[in-house]
Amino acid sequence: MPLIEVQTKINADLEVCFDLARSIDFHKESLKHTDEIPIAGKTFGLIELNEWVSWEARHLGFVQHLTTKITDFESPNYFVGEMIFGAFKTLKHEHLFKSTGVGTLMIDKFYFESPYGFVGKFANWLFLKKYMTKLLSIRNTALKERAEIEQLKKNLKRRNIKGYLYS
């Protein structure tokens, strides 16, 4: 089963990163180029243990449907989403967060297995692993940018400094 691991250094607190990573609203925004929208289950806010969400999105030129459930959860250190319906044979996404003293190291471990035996394995090798890695990187770049802005706002508020920041 292929594994994609992406590590992202973020200049923001664990809690800020953790909450953004489990935000349905942010997920939708960060992958708007795929027309990704939640269509059932938890469709807004912060997803929690044992909650599920069904997504509709356009990937590789096709409209796809995917339902994931949060199967493990320890705030603000990690949570796991696993596919319960979708195009993959299996899919598991571990989200891990570690404090670095100056921010957060966010680690995504994305395990997936394509259906159709040898044909699926060939598709993984040919393009799917690269496509999924790019998708995770796009999302993580957006998360890093948003988390760092949110952290700056939080720090300014804490210091009682008034400023104007774009959101």
Contact 125, 137 (CB under 8 A): no
Cβ within 8 Å of residue 35, ≥6 positions away: 56, 57, 58
Contact 16, 151 (CB under 8 A): yes
Task: Output the average pLDDT for the chain.
Answer: 91
| Gap between the Cα atoms of 108 and 133, Å rounded | 10
Instruction: Give the model's confidence band at 163: pLDDT under 50 very low, under 70 low, under 90 confident, else very high.
Output: low
Which one has a higher pLDDT value, 78 or 127?
78
DSSP line for 106-122: EEEEEEEE-SSHHHHHH
3 state DSSP class of 78:
strand
* pLDDT tens, position by position, 112-156: 988 777 766 776 677 788 999 999 999 999 999 999 999 998 888
| Gap between the Cα atoms of 133 and 140, Å rounded | 10
